[in-house]
Structure 1
Amino acid sequence: MRSSKTARVVGMTVLSLLLIIFLSPFLITILNTFKSTQEFIENPFSLPTQFNFDNYSKAIEEMNFATGFVNSLIITAFGVLLVLVFSAMTAYLFARFSWKINKVLFFIMTASMAIPFQVVMIPLVTIYGTIGFFDSRESLLFMYCGFGCPLAIFTFHGFIKGIPVALEEAASIDGCGRIRTFFQIVLPLLKPVISTVTVLDVLWMWNDYLLPSLVLQSPELRTLPLSTFNFFSSYSVDFTPLMAGLIMTMLPVLMLYLFLQKYIIKGIVAGAVK
Protein backbone atom coordinates (compact mmCIF):
# COMPACT_ATOMS: atom_id res chain seq x y z
CA MET A 1 0.00 0.00 0.00
CA ARG A 2 2.78 2.40 0.99
CA SER A 3 4.88 1.43 -2.06
CA SER A 4 1.98 2.12 -4.44
CA LYS A 5 1.45 5.54 -2.86
CA THR A 6 5.17 6.33 -3.20
CA ALA A 7 5.12 5.23 -6.84
CA ARG A 8 2.12 7.49 -7.46
CA VAL A 9 3.89 10.49 -5.90
CA VAL A 10 7.06 9.81 -7.91
CA GLY A 11 5.01 9.46 -11.09
CA MET A 12 3.17 12.74 -10.51
CA THR A 13 6.47 14.50 -9.74
CA VAL A 14 8.06 13.25 -12.97
CA LEU A 15 5.00 14.24 -15.01
CA SER A 16 4.95 17.70 -13.41
CA LEU A 17 8.62 18.22 -14.26
CA LEU A 18 8.02 17.10 -17.85
CA LEU A 19 5.05 19.48 -18.09
CA ILE A 20 7.23 22.38 -16.92
CA ILE A 21 9.96 21.45 -19.41
CA PHE A 22 7.53 21.27 -22.34
CA LEU A 23 5.70 24.48 -21.39
CA SER A 24 8.80 26.55 -20.64
CA PRO A 25 9.48 27.65 -24.29
CA PHE A 26 5.87 28.80 -24.61
CA LEU A 27 5.94 30.66 -21.29
CA ILE A 28 9.30 32.29 -22.11
CA THR A 29 7.88 33.47 -25.45
CA ILE A 30 4.86 35.02 -23.72
CA LEU A 31 7.08 36.84 -21.21
CA ASN A 32 9.28 38.21 -23.99
CA THR A 33 6.27 39.74 -25.75
CA PHE A 34 6.12 42.32 -22.92
CA LYS A 35 9.76 43.41 -23.39
CA SER A 36 11.49 45.70 -25.82
CA THR A 37 13.69 44.10 -28.46
CA GLN A 38 16.80 45.50 -26.75
CA GLU A 39 15.74 44.02 -23.42
CA PHE A 40 15.10 40.67 -25.08
CA ILE A 41 18.57 40.64 -26.69
CA GLU A 42 20.25 41.47 -23.37
CA ASN A 43 18.56 38.61 -21.49
CA PRO A 44 15.76 36.56 -23.09
CA PHE A 45 15.20 34.55 -19.88
CA SER A 46 14.65 37.45 -17.48
CA LEU A 47 11.31 38.83 -16.35
CA PRO A 48 10.21 42.05 -18.06
CA THR A 49 10.94 45.22 -16.14
CA GLN A 50 7.38 46.33 -16.88
CA PHE A 51 4.51 44.66 -18.70
CA ASN A 52 4.08 46.63 -21.92
CA PHE A 53 1.37 45.67 -24.43
CA ASP A 54 2.73 47.87 -27.22
CA ASN A 55 4.20 44.85 -29.00
CA TYR A 56 0.73 43.41 -29.56
CA SER A 57 -0.64 46.61 -31.08
CA LYS A 58 2.50 46.91 -33.21
CA ALA A 59 2.12 43.28 -34.34
CA ILE A 60 -1.52 43.84 -35.34
CA GLU A 61 -0.49 46.83 -37.43
CA GLU A 62 2.70 45.42 -38.99
CA MET A 63 1.19 42.03 -39.82
CA ASN A 64 -2.05 43.47 -41.14
CA PHE A 65 -3.54 41.01 -38.68
CA ALA A 66 -7.19 41.32 -39.74
CA THR A 67 -6.44 40.46 -43.40
CA GLY A 68 -4.14 37.59 -42.45
CA PHE A 69 -6.69 36.24 -39.98
CA VAL A 70 -9.49 36.26 -42.59
CA ASN A 71 -7.23 34.59 -45.17
CA SER A 72 -6.17 31.90 -42.69
CA LEU A 73 -9.77 31.35 -41.60
CA ILE A 74 -11.08 30.98 -45.16
CA ILE A 75 -8.29 28.67 -46.29
CA THR A 76 -8.40 26.52 -43.15
CA ALA A 77 -12.21 26.23 -43.03
CA PHE A 78 -12.68 25.33 -46.70
CA GLY A 79 -9.54 23.18 -46.78
CA VAL A 80 -10.66 21.07 -43.82
CA LEU A 81 -14.19 20.80 -45.24
CA LEU A 82 -12.88 19.56 -48.61
CA VAL A 83 -10.58 17.02 -46.94
CA LEU A 84 -13.40 15.71 -44.72
CA VAL A 85 -15.94 15.30 -47.53
CA PHE A 86 -13.65 13.76 -50.14
CA SER A 87 -11.73 11.51 -47.73
CA ALA A 88 -14.85 10.19 -45.99
CA MET A 89 -16.53 9.34 -49.31
CA THR A 90 -13.36 7.78 -50.73
CA ALA A 91 -12.78 5.72 -47.58
CA TYR A 92 -16.38 4.49 -47.76
CA LEU A 93 -15.82 3.43 -51.37
CA PHE A 94 -12.63 1.57 -50.44
CA ALA A 95 -14.23 -0.13 -47.42
CA ARG A 96 -17.51 -1.25 -49.01
CA PHE A 97 -16.53 -2.14 -52.60
CA SER A 98 -14.02 -4.96 -52.97
CA TRP A 99 -12.73 -3.96 -56.39
CA LYS A 100 -9.12 -4.84 -57.19
CA ILE A 101 -8.39 -1.27 -58.25
CA ASN A 102 -9.51 -0.09 -54.80
CA LYS A 103 -6.81 -2.14 -53.10
CA VAL A 104 -4.16 -0.69 -55.42
CA LEU A 105 -5.36 2.90 -54.93
CA PHE A 106 -5.61 2.48 -51.16
CA PHE A 107 -2.06 1.12 -51.04
CA ILE A 108 -0.78 4.03 -53.15
CA MET A 109 -2.52 6.59 -50.92
CA THR A 110 -1.21 4.92 -47.78
CA ALA A 111 2.32 4.75 -49.19
CA SER A 112 2.20 8.44 -50.17
CA MET A 113 2.06 9.39 -46.49
CA ALA A 114 5.70 8.29 -46.18
CA ILE A 115 6.87 10.80 -48.83
CA PRO A 116 8.10 14.09 -47.31
CA PHE A 117 6.70 17.27 -48.82
CA GLN A 118 10.23 18.51 -49.52
CA VAL A 119 10.65 15.69 -52.07
CA VAL A 120 7.81 16.96 -54.26
CA MET A 121 8.26 20.67 -53.51
CA ILE A 122 10.51 21.55 -56.47
CA PRO A 123 8.49 19.56 -59.08
CA LEU A 124 5.31 21.10 -57.65
CA VAL A 125 6.61 24.65 -58.07
CA THR A 126 8.06 23.90 -61.52
CA ILE A 127 4.94 22.28 -62.98
CA TYR A 128 2.20 24.44 -61.46
CA GLY A 129 4.24 27.63 -61.73
CA THR A 130 4.69 27.04 -65.45
CA ILE A 131 0.94 26.78 -66.09
CA GLY A 132 0.17 29.84 -63.94
CA PHE A 133 -1.65 27.94 -61.22
CA PHE A 134 -0.19 29.88 -58.30
CA ASP A 135 -1.16 33.00 -56.33
CA SER A 136 -4.78 32.12 -55.52
CA ARG A 137 -6.66 30.62 -52.60
CA GLU A 138 -8.19 28.01 -54.90
CA SER A 139 -4.74 26.67 -55.84
CA LEU A 140 -3.74 26.38 -52.20
CA LEU A 141 -7.01 24.64 -51.30
CA PHE A 142 -6.51 22.19 -54.18
CA MET A 143 -3.05 21.29 -52.87
CA TYR A 144 -4.17 21.04 -49.25
CA CYS A 145 -6.90 18.64 -50.36
CA GLY A 146 -4.37 16.50 -52.24
CA PHE A 147 -1.81 16.39 -49.42
CA GLY A 148 -4.36 16.00 -46.62
CA CYS A 149 -6.61 13.28 -47.99
CA PRO A 150 -4.30 10.22 -47.66
CA LEU A 151 -4.04 10.33 -43.86
CA ALA A 152 -7.73 11.18 -43.51
CA ILE A 153 -8.73 8.32 -45.84
CA PHE A 154 -6.57 5.90 -43.85
CA THR A 155 -8.24 7.03 -40.60
CA PHE A 156 -11.79 6.93 -41.97
CA HIS A 157 -11.23 3.57 -43.69
CA GLY A 158 -10.37 1.73 -40.50
CA PHE A 159 -13.38 3.16 -38.68
CA ILE A 160 -15.88 2.49 -41.50
CA LYS A 161 -14.82 -1.17 -41.67
CA GLY A 162 -15.99 -1.49 -38.06
CA ILE A 163 -19.51 -0.23 -38.83
CA PRO A 164 -21.94 -3.15 -39.29
CA VAL A 165 -23.05 -3.59 -42.90
CA ALA A 166 -26.48 -4.61 -41.58
CA LEU A 167 -27.26 -0.94 -40.88
CA GLU A 168 -26.78 -0.07 -44.53
CA GLU A 169 -28.72 -3.15 -45.67
CA ALA A 170 -31.63 -2.10 -43.49
CA ALA A 171 -31.52 1.39 -44.97
CA SER A 172 -31.42 -0.11 -48.46
CA ILE A 173 -34.54 -2.16 -47.72
CA ASP A 174 -36.28 1.06 -46.65
CA GLY A 175 -35.46 2.59 -50.03
CA CYS A 176 -32.25 4.53 -49.34
CA GLY A 177 -29.73 4.77 -52.13
CA ARG A 178 -25.97 4.60 -51.62
CA ILE A 179 -25.49 8.36 -51.35
CA ARG A 180 -28.39 8.85 -48.93
CA THR A 181 -27.22 5.87 -46.86
CA PHE A 182 -23.74 7.34 -46.59
CA PHE A 183 -24.86 10.82 -45.53
CA GLN A 184 -27.72 9.78 -43.22
CA ILE A 185 -26.47 6.49 -41.75
CA VAL A 186 -22.69 6.22 -42.03
CA LEU A 187 -21.53 9.84 -41.76
CA PRO A 188 -23.20 10.52 -38.36
CA LEU A 189 -21.37 7.49 -36.96
CA LEU A 190 -18.02 9.00 -37.98
CA LYS A 191 -18.14 11.88 -35.48
CA PRO A 192 -15.09 10.74 -33.41
CA VAL A 193 -12.94 10.43 -36.53
CA ILE A 194 -14.30 13.67 -37.99
CA SER A 195 -13.29 15.48 -34.80
CA THR A 196 -9.81 13.95 -34.93
CA VAL A 197 -9.21 14.77 -38.60
CA THR A 198 -10.62 18.26 -38.10
CA VAL A 199 -8.27 19.11 -35.24
CA LEU A 200 -5.19 17.64 -36.94
CA ASP A 201 -5.88 19.38 -40.24
CA VAL A 202 -6.77 22.70 -38.62
CA LEU A 203 -3.46 22.63 -36.73
CA TRP A 204 -1.64 21.79 -39.95
CA MET A 205 -3.30 24.27 -42.31
CA TRP A 206 -3.48 27.16 -39.86
CA ASN A 207 0.19 26.93 -38.84
CA ASP A 208 1.60 25.94 -42.24
CA TYR A 209 4.23 28.28 -43.64
CA LEU A 210 6.05 26.38 -46.37
CA LEU A 211 3.24 25.56 -48.82
CA PRO A 212 1.51 28.99 -48.64
CA SER A 213 4.91 30.68 -49.09
CA LEU A 214 5.30 28.79 -52.37
CA VAL A 215 1.77 29.37 -53.65
CA LEU A 216 0.73 32.82 -52.40
CA GLN A 217 2.77 35.77 -53.65
CA SER A 218 0.32 38.68 -53.30
CA PRO A 219 0.45 40.49 -49.91
CA GLU A 220 -3.36 40.64 -49.69
CA LEU A 221 -3.54 36.81 -49.82
CA ARG A 222 -1.00 36.11 -47.08
CA THR A 223 -2.02 33.95 -44.14
CA LEU A 224 -0.99 34.73 -40.56
CA PRO A 225 2.23 32.64 -40.61
CA LEU A 226 3.30 34.44 -43.79
CA SER A 227 2.44 37.82 -42.27
CA THR A 228 5.01 37.31 -39.51
CA PHE A 229 7.70 37.65 -42.18
CA ASN A 230 7.07 41.42 -42.11
CA PHE A 231 9.21 41.65 -38.97
CA PHE A 232 12.31 40.45 -40.83
CA SER A 233 14.37 43.13 -42.54
CA SER A 234 17.61 42.81 -44.48
CA TYR A 235 19.86 43.31 -41.46
CA SER A 236 17.75 42.83 -38.33
CA VAL A 237 14.70 41.19 -36.81
CA ASP A 238 12.16 42.91 -34.56
CA PHE A 239 11.92 40.01 -32.14
CA THR A 240 9.40 41.03 -29.50
CA PRO A 241 6.59 42.16 -31.87
CA LEU A 242 7.30 38.99 -33.85
CA MET A 243 6.72 36.90 -30.73
CA ALA A 244 3.53 38.80 -30.00
CA GLY A 245 2.34 38.04 -33.52
CA LEU A 246 3.19 34.36 -33.09
CA ILE A 247 1.25 34.19 -29.83
CA MET A 248 -1.82 35.78 -31.45
CA THR A 249 -1.48 33.38 -34.38
CA MET A 250 -1.35 30.34 -32.09
CA LEU A 251 -4.25 31.25 -29.81
CA PRO A 252 -7.20 30.26 -32.08
CA VAL A 253 -5.91 26.76 -32.83
CA LEU A 254 -4.72 26.32 -29.24
CA MET A 255 -8.23 27.02 -27.99
CA LEU A 256 -9.68 24.61 -30.56
CA TYR A 257 -7.22 21.91 -29.51
CA LEU A 258 -8.01 22.34 -25.82
CA PHE A 259 -11.72 22.12 -26.59
CA LEU A 260 -11.50 18.98 -28.76
CA GLN A 261 -8.43 17.24 -27.33
CA LYS A 262 -10.41 14.34 -25.86
CA TYR A 263 -11.58 13.37 -29.36
CA ILE A 264 -8.12 13.24 -30.93
CA ILE A 265 -6.70 10.12 -29.27
CA LYS A 266 -10.15 8.51 -29.19
CA GLY A 267 -10.60 8.92 -32.93
CA ILE A 268 -7.07 7.81 -33.85
CA VAL A 269 -7.28 4.69 -31.67
CA ALA A 270 -10.76 3.85 -32.98
CA GLY A 271 -9.69 4.20 -36.58
CA ALA A 272 -6.50 2.17 -36.11
CA VAL A 273 -8.08 -0.67 -34.10
CA LYS A 274 -11.20 -1.08 -36.17
Structure 2
Amino acid sequence: MKAIGNWSKEILLILMALVFLSPIYIIFINSFKNRLELYDNTLAFPEEFSLQYYSAAMQRMDFLNAFLNSIYVTVVSVVFIVILSSMTAWMLARSGNWVSTVIFMTLIATMLIPFQTIMMPLMQMVTGITRTTGIPLYNTLSGLIFMNIGFHAALSVFLYHGFIKSIPISLEEAATIDGATKFGVFWRVVFPILTPITATVMILNVILIWNDFLLPSLTLIDKDLRTIPLSVFYFFGEFTIEWNLAMAGLTLTIIPVVIFYIIAQKYIIKGIGEGAVK
Protein backbone atom coordinates (compact mmCIF):
# COMPACT_ATOMS: atom_id res chain seq x y z
CA MET A 1 0.00 0.00 0.00
CA LYS A 2 2.85 2.35 0.80
CA ALA A 3 4.41 1.74 -2.63
CA ILE A 4 1.07 2.43 -4.32
CA GLY A 5 0.78 5.68 -2.37
CA ASN A 6 4.26 6.79 -3.42
CA TRP A 7 3.53 5.97 -7.08
CA SER A 8 0.25 7.88 -6.97
CA LYS A 9 2.03 10.95 -5.54
CA GLU A 10 4.68 10.81 -8.26
CA ILE A 11 2.05 10.47 -10.99
CA LEU A 12 0.14 13.42 -9.52
CA LEU A 13 3.30 15.54 -9.46
CA ILE A 14 4.10 14.61 -13.07
CA LEU A 15 0.58 15.58 -14.17
CA MET A 16 0.82 18.89 -12.32
CA ALA A 17 4.20 19.57 -13.93
CA LEU A 18 2.72 18.89 -17.38
CA VAL A 19 -0.15 21.30 -16.66
CA PHE A 20 2.25 24.08 -15.60
CA LEU A 21 4.58 23.44 -18.55
CA SER A 22 1.79 23.28 -21.15
CA PRO A 23 1.84 27.07 -21.91
CA ILE A 24 5.58 26.87 -22.65
CA TYR A 25 4.95 23.88 -24.93
CA ILE A 26 2.21 25.77 -26.80
CA ILE A 27 4.40 28.86 -27.24
CA PHE A 28 7.42 26.85 -28.42
CA ILE A 29 5.54 24.58 -30.85
CA ASN A 30 3.51 27.35 -32.43
CA SER A 31 6.60 29.52 -32.97
CA PHE A 32 7.58 27.16 -35.83
CA LYS A 33 4.18 27.16 -37.59
CA ASN A 34 2.69 29.35 -40.28
CA ARG A 35 -0.64 30.98 -39.54
CA LEU A 36 -2.66 28.26 -41.30
CA GLU A 37 -1.05 25.47 -39.28
CA LEU A 38 -1.42 27.45 -36.07
CA TYR A 39 -5.16 27.99 -36.52
CA ASP A 40 -5.71 24.43 -37.76
CA ASN A 41 -4.32 22.67 -34.66
CA THR A 42 -2.66 24.58 -31.86
CA LEU A 43 -1.33 21.50 -30.05
CA ALA A 44 0.04 19.57 -33.05
CA PHE A 45 3.69 19.53 -34.09
CA PRO A 46 4.58 21.72 -37.09
CA GLU A 47 5.12 20.13 -40.49
CA GLU A 48 8.64 21.59 -40.54
CA PHE A 49 10.90 22.97 -37.81
CA SER A 50 12.15 26.08 -39.55
CA LEU A 51 13.76 29.15 -38.00
CA GLN A 52 12.28 31.52 -40.57
CA TYR A 53 9.74 32.92 -38.11
CA TYR A 54 12.46 33.49 -35.51
CA SER A 55 14.48 35.38 -38.09
CA ALA A 56 11.45 37.45 -39.09
CA ALA A 57 10.57 38.11 -35.45
CA MET A 58 14.12 39.25 -34.65
CA GLN A 59 14.06 41.69 -37.55
CA ARG A 60 10.64 43.08 -36.67
CA MET A 61 11.57 43.37 -32.98
CA ASP A 62 14.99 44.90 -33.67
CA PHE A 63 16.01 42.14 -31.29
CA LEU A 64 19.66 43.07 -30.75
CA ASN A 65 18.83 46.66 -29.77
CA ALA A 66 15.94 45.55 -27.54
CA PHE A 67 18.13 42.85 -25.95
CA LEU A 68 20.90 45.35 -25.17
CA ASN A 69 18.35 47.79 -23.71
CA SER A 70 16.94 45.05 -21.48
CA ILE A 71 20.41 43.96 -20.39
CA TYR A 72 21.44 47.54 -19.59
CA VAL A 73 18.27 48.34 -17.62
CA THR A 74 18.32 45.05 -15.73
CA VAL A 75 22.02 45.00 -14.81
CA VAL A 76 22.26 48.65 -13.73
CA SER A 77 18.98 48.48 -11.79
CA VAL A 78 19.99 45.30 -9.94
CA VAL A 79 23.46 46.64 -9.06
CA PHE A 80 21.99 49.79 -7.51
CA ILE A 81 19.22 47.83 -5.78
CA VAL A 82 21.74 45.49 -4.16
CA ILE A 83 24.05 48.28 -3.00
CA LEU A 84 21.40 50.68 -1.70
CA SER A 85 19.07 48.06 -0.21
CA SER A 86 21.82 46.20 1.65
CA MET A 87 23.16 49.43 3.16
CA THR A 88 19.66 50.61 4.07
CA ALA A 89 18.72 47.29 5.66
CA TRP A 90 21.96 47.21 7.67
CA MET A 91 21.42 50.69 9.09
CA LEU A 92 17.78 49.96 9.92
CA ALA A 93 18.65 46.64 11.56
CA ARG A 94 21.48 48.09 13.64
CA SER A 95 19.87 51.40 14.68
CA GLY A 96 17.35 49.79 17.00
CA ASN A 97 15.26 52.93 17.59
CA TRP A 98 11.66 53.78 16.79
CA VAL A 99 12.61 55.90 13.78
CA SER A 100 14.26 52.95 12.03
CA THR A 101 11.24 50.79 12.89
CA VAL A 102 8.85 53.32 11.36
CA ILE A 103 10.97 53.60 8.22
CA PHE A 104 11.18 49.82 7.88
CA MET A 105 7.42 49.33 8.38
CA THR A 106 6.72 52.11 5.86
CA LEU A 107 8.86 50.30 3.28
CA ILE A 108 7.00 47.06 3.99
CA ALA A 109 3.64 48.85 3.67
CA THR A 110 4.55 50.08 0.18
CA MET A 111 4.71 46.44 -0.94
CA LEU A 112 0.96 46.20 -0.36
CA ILE A 113 0.11 49.04 -2.78
CA PRO A 114 -0.71 47.80 -6.33
CA PHE A 115 1.29 49.59 -9.00
CA GLN A 116 -1.86 50.14 -11.06
CA THR A 117 -3.26 52.48 -8.41
CA ILE A 118 -0.33 54.89 -8.64
CA MET A 119 0.83 54.57 -12.25
CA MET A 120 -1.13 57.56 -13.61
CA PRO A 121 -0.13 60.02 -10.83
CA LEU A 122 3.43 58.70 -11.17
CA MET A 123 3.52 59.41 -14.91
CA GLN A 124 2.06 62.89 -14.37
CA MET A 125 4.74 63.63 -11.79
CA VAL A 126 7.54 62.18 -13.94
CA THR A 127 6.54 64.10 -17.06
CA GLY A 128 6.12 67.27 -14.97
CA ILE A 129 9.61 66.92 -13.48
CA THR A 130 11.13 66.27 -16.91
CA ARG A 131 9.34 69.25 -18.46
CA THR A 132 10.02 71.78 -15.71
CA THR A 133 13.50 70.81 -14.51
CA GLY A 134 14.98 69.02 -17.51
CA ILE A 135 15.88 65.95 -15.41
CA PRO A 136 15.60 63.02 -17.89
CA LEU A 137 13.11 60.77 -16.11
CA TYR A 138 10.54 60.34 -18.90
CA ASN A 139 11.31 58.46 -22.12
CA THR A 140 14.83 57.57 -21.02
CA LEU A 141 16.45 54.35 -19.86
CA SER A 142 17.99 56.20 -16.91
CA GLY A 143 14.53 57.28 -15.77
CA LEU A 144 13.28 53.71 -16.03
CA ILE A 145 16.26 52.51 -13.98
CA PHE A 146 15.56 55.17 -11.34
CA MET A 147 11.96 54.00 -10.99
CA ASN A 148 12.97 50.34 -10.94
CA ILE A 149 15.24 51.03 -7.98
CA GLY A 150 12.40 52.69 -6.10
CA PHE A 151 9.78 50.04 -6.80
CA HIS A 152 12.01 47.04 -6.05
CA ALA A 153 13.82 48.44 -3.02
CA ALA A 154 11.17 47.49 -0.45
CA LEU A 155 11.29 43.74 -1.12
CA SER A 156 15.09 43.79 -1.22
CA VAL A 157 15.36 45.70 2.08
CA PHE A 158 12.91 43.25 3.65
CA LEU A 159 15.02 40.24 2.58
CA TYR A 160 18.29 41.82 3.66
CA HIS A 161 16.88 43.03 6.97
CA GLY A 162 15.91 39.55 8.13
CA PHE A 163 19.29 38.12 7.18
CA ILE A 164 21.33 40.92 8.77
CA LYS A 165 19.56 40.46 12.13
CA SER A 166 21.03 36.94 12.28
CA ILE A 167 24.64 38.21 11.93
CA PRO A 168 26.41 38.53 15.32
CA ILE A 169 27.02 42.19 16.10
CA SER A 170 30.24 41.18 17.85
CA LEU A 171 31.90 40.82 14.42
CA GLU A 172 31.18 44.46 13.66
CA GLU A 173 32.32 45.57 17.12
CA ALA A 174 35.60 43.72 16.69
CA ALA A 175 36.19 45.42 13.33
CA THR A 176 35.42 48.81 14.89
CA ILE A 177 37.92 48.17 17.70
CA ASP A 178 40.51 47.34 15.03
CA GLY A 179 39.99 50.81 13.57
CA ALA A 180 37.52 50.16 10.75
CA THR A 181 35.11 52.94 9.80
CA LYS A 182 31.39 52.30 9.41
CA PHE A 183 31.91 52.12 5.67
CA GLY A 184 34.74 49.64 6.15
CA VAL A 185 32.73 47.54 8.62
CA PHE A 186 29.91 47.15 6.14
CA TRP A 187 31.91 46.41 2.99
CA ARG A 188 34.69 44.34 4.58
CA VAL A 189 32.76 42.44 7.26
CA VAL A 190 29.00 42.53 6.72
CA PHE A 191 28.57 42.52 2.95
CA PRO A 192 30.69 39.38 2.31
CA ILE A 193 28.49 37.50 4.81
CA LEU A 194 25.41 38.62 2.84
CA THR A 195 26.49 36.68 -0.28
CA PRO A 196 23.70 34.02 -0.12
CA ILE A 197 20.88 36.53 0.34
CA THR A 198 22.49 38.89 -2.19
CA ALA A 199 22.32 36.11 -4.79
CA THR A 200 18.63 35.61 -3.97
CA VAL A 201 17.90 39.35 -4.20
CA MET A 202 19.71 39.58 -7.54
CA ILE A 203 17.90 36.60 -9.07
CA LEU A 204 14.44 37.75 -7.99
CA ASN A 205 15.02 41.29 -9.25
CA VAL A 206 16.53 40.14 -12.55
CA ILE A 207 13.42 38.05 -13.26
CA LEU A 208 11.03 40.84 -12.22
CA ILE A 209 12.78 43.62 -14.14
CA TRP A 210 13.54 41.57 -17.28
CA ASN A 211 9.89 40.51 -17.64
CA ASP A 212 8.38 43.87 -16.68
CA PHE A 213 6.08 45.31 -19.33
CA LEU A 214 3.79 47.83 -17.64
CA LEU A 215 6.35 50.34 -16.31
CA PRO A 216 8.48 50.43 -19.51
CA SER A 217 5.32 50.79 -21.61
CA LEU A 218 4.38 53.90 -19.62
CA THR A 219 7.91 55.34 -19.49
CA LEU A 220 9.49 54.63 -22.89
CA ILE A 221 8.09 56.12 -26.11
CA ASP A 222 10.91 56.02 -28.67
CA LYS A 223 11.30 52.81 -30.65
CA ASP A 224 15.05 52.73 -30.05
CA LEU A 225 14.47 52.55 -26.29
CA ARG A 226 12.15 49.53 -26.29
CA THR A 227 12.98 46.57 -24.09
CA ILE A 228 12.25 43.00 -25.23
CA PRO A 229 8.73 42.76 -23.64
CA LEU A 230 7.80 46.04 -25.36
CA SER A 231 9.10 44.81 -28.72
CA VAL A 232 7.04 41.61 -28.47
CA PHE A 233 3.91 43.62 -27.66
CA TYR A 234 3.84 45.22 -31.11
CA PHE A 235 3.04 41.86 -32.75
CA PHE A 236 -0.39 42.24 -31.15
CA GLY A 237 -2.14 44.78 -33.36
CA GLU A 238 -5.54 46.40 -32.94
CA PHE A 239 -7.16 44.40 -35.74
CA THR A 240 -4.80 41.48 -36.30
CA ILE A 241 -2.33 39.41 -34.31
CA GLU A 242 0.67 37.72 -35.90
CA TRP A 243 0.58 34.76 -33.55
CA ASN A 244 3.47 32.80 -35.04
CA LEU A 245 5.83 35.79 -34.90
CA ALA A 246 4.54 36.67 -31.44
CA MET A 247 5.23 33.13 -30.22
CA ALA A 248 8.75 33.27 -31.66
CA GLY A 249 9.29 36.63 -29.95
CA LEU A 250 7.99 35.30 -26.63
CA THR A 251 10.32 32.30 -26.88
CA LEU A 252 13.27 34.64 -27.48
CA THR A 253 12.17 36.62 -24.42
CA ILE A 254 11.93 33.57 -22.19
CA ILE A 255 15.21 31.86 -23.15
CA PRO A 256 17.65 34.30 -21.41
CA VAL A 257 15.66 34.22 -18.15
CA VAL A 258 15.39 30.42 -18.19
CA ILE A 259 19.14 30.04 -18.77
CA PHE A 260 19.90 32.55 -16.01
CA TYR A 261 17.53 30.81 -13.59
CA ILE A 262 18.94 27.33 -14.32
CA ILE A 263 22.45 28.60 -13.60
CA ALA A 264 21.49 30.51 -10.47
CA GLN A 265 18.69 28.40 -8.93
CA LYS A 266 21.02 26.73 -6.43
CA TYR A 267 21.84 30.15 -4.98
CA ILE A 268 18.14 30.84 -4.36
CA ILE A 269 17.80 27.61 -2.37
CA LYS A 270 21.07 28.27 -0.56
CA GLY A 271 20.09 31.83 0.35
CA ILE A 272 16.67 30.86 1.63
CA GLY A 273 18.04 27.83 3.49
CA GLU A 274 20.85 29.70 5.22
CA GLY A 275 18.55 32.53 6.15
CA ALA A 276 16.09 30.08 7.72
CA VAL A 277 18.81 28.19 9.62
CA LYS A 278 20.41 31.37 10.93
TM-score greater than 0.5 by the shorter chain: yes
Q: Which of 238, 241, 266 is equivalent to 2:242? A: 238
- Amino acid paired to 1:173: I
C-alpha contact (below 8 Å) 1:72/1:223 kept by paired residues: yes
> In structure 2, how many angstroms separate the alpha carbons of the residues matched to 1:179 and 1:229?
44
Give structure 2 stretches of 5+ with no counterpart.
131-136
The CA deviation at 1:104 is 0.7
The CA deviation at 1:255 is 0.8
| 1:72 corresponding residue in structure 2 | 70
CA offsets, 1:141-162, max 9 Å, x none?
1110000000000000000000
Secondary structure of 1:179 counterpart: helix
> How big is the alpha-carbon RMSD for the aligned residues of Structure 1 and Structure 2?
1.4
Residue pairs, 1:117-266, within 5 angstroms: 117-132=115-130, 133-266=137-270
C-alpha contact (below 8 Å) 1:228/1:245 kept by paired residues: yes
Give structure 1 stretches of 5+ with no counterpart.
none
| 2:48 corresponding residue in structure 1 | 50
> In structure 2, how many angstroms separate the alpha carbons of the residues matched to 1:4 and 1:82?
52
The CA deviation at 1:24 is 1.2
The CA deviation at 1:122 is 1.1
In the alignment of these two chains, the number of paired residues is: 272
The CA deviation at 1:80 is 0.5
C-alpha contact (below 8 Å) 1:155/1:271 kept by paired residues: no
Q: Which of 1, 8, 11 is equivalent to 2:9? A: 11
> In structure 2, how many angstroms separate the alpha carbons of the residues matched to 1:153 and 1:50?
49
> In structure 2, how many angstroms separate the alpha carbons of the residues matched to 1:264 and 1:114?
23
The CA deviation at 1:5 is 2.7
- Amino acid paired to 1:185: V
| 2:113 corresponding residue in structure 1 | 115
C-alpha contact (below 8 Å) 1:172/1:181 kept by paired residues: yes
C-alpha contact (below 8 Å) 2:220/2:226 kept by paired residues: yes
Secondary structure of 1:231 counterpart: coil
| 1:106 corresponding residue in structure 2 | 104
Secondary structure of 1:47 counterpart: coil
Q: Which of 57, 61, 67 is equivalent to 2:59? A: 61
Q: TM-score, normalised by structure 2?
A: 0.94
Moved over 3 A (4+): 268-274
- Amino acid paired to 1:93: M
Q: TM-score, normalised by structure 1?
A: 0.95
Residue pairs, 1:15-30, within 5 angstroms: 15-30=13-28
Identity of aligned residues (%): 41
- Amino acid paired to 1:146: G
